[in-house]
Amino acid sequence: MSKDHQGLEKVRASKFQYQEHHPLVPPPSDSEPVSRRQRRKGKRSPSPLLIPQSSENPNLSNSAHPLSPVQYLQVLTHDALSIPSSLPLTIMPPTSSIPLLIASIGNPGPAYADTLHSAGHTALDALRVLLNYPSFSKSRALGSLVSLPPSPDLPWTLYQSPTLMNVSGPAISSVWRAWPYSGVGAGGVLVIVHDELEKGLGSVNVKRSGSPRGHNGLKSIIKSLPGVDFVRVGVGIGRPESREPGVVSNYVLSKMNGRERKVVEDSAWGILKALQEIRG
């Protein structure tokens, strides 16, 4: 048997031992390229971390045994993606288990779907898939377009505002007051996911308070929920070259192309990490 075949057989034989010490990380694939140095040592490059399986997006999973949403958040919080495969992977407690009502604002209906102004909706839907949450559906208790957690260990509720952006306040106020964790002492936190002009496409910017900076959706929410402190998660949508009102309006209402949509969807990773850092 040649040295190359001996090295390959050694890697194959080590799969079971690898999986025993890395229960959340898949063993190396035989199809992966192996350098001569790696063959001599019987090593390969770090393998990708398992991610939750989703019937809506099967590409989000590479294992028949995906992590639960809680395990996934725990792993992500501790930067497990950068842990070398030679080290044992340990699940740590989540950074935060605070109940969150995560609401996106934008414009409803097919005419406004996939526009830059509705980037909050796009990002929240990507987060929903990432968390393996069910599709948005009507809720008798909370109103329309709600996605409830698949596990009681993750008390996060996702909500898409069904109204036009500029009048988001009443709908957000209604769902907030109906949400069981919104009362005094209940410990719940309201999070608003919205588009943010002048910020790089797909960037994630978090604020706890401050001026809405001309964002009419945020202005409407502040007016409808006086005295309620909420977290603002802005998803950057870039900016047009001109600051003329007509140009800006046409820009934010324009449809995203495939590349832009993917960048906005990928912002769900940054949003997820930001949510983990929220304190009551």
Catalytic center residues: 117
**Whose CA is closest to 124, among 102, 140, 153?**
102
Joined together, the tokens standing for residue 72 give 């996934």
**Residue 237 to residue 256: CA distance in whole angstroms:** 10
What residue type is 103 in one-letter code?
A: A
What is the 3 state secondary structure string of the chain? CCHHHHHHHHHHHCHHHHHHHCCCCCCCCCCCCCCHHHHHHCCCCCCCCCCCCCCCCHHHCCCCCCCCHHHHHHHHHCCHHHCCCCCCCCCCCCCCCCCEEEEECCCCCCCCCCEHHHHHHHHHHHHHHHCCCCCCEEECCCEEEEECCCCCCCCEEEEECCCCHHHCHHHHHHHHHHCCCCCCCCCCEEEEEEEECCCCCCCEEEECCCCCCCCHHHHHHHHHCCCCCCEEEEEECCCCCCCCHHHHHHHHCCECCHHHHHHHHHHHHHHHHHHHCCCC
Residue 115 β-bridge partners: 255
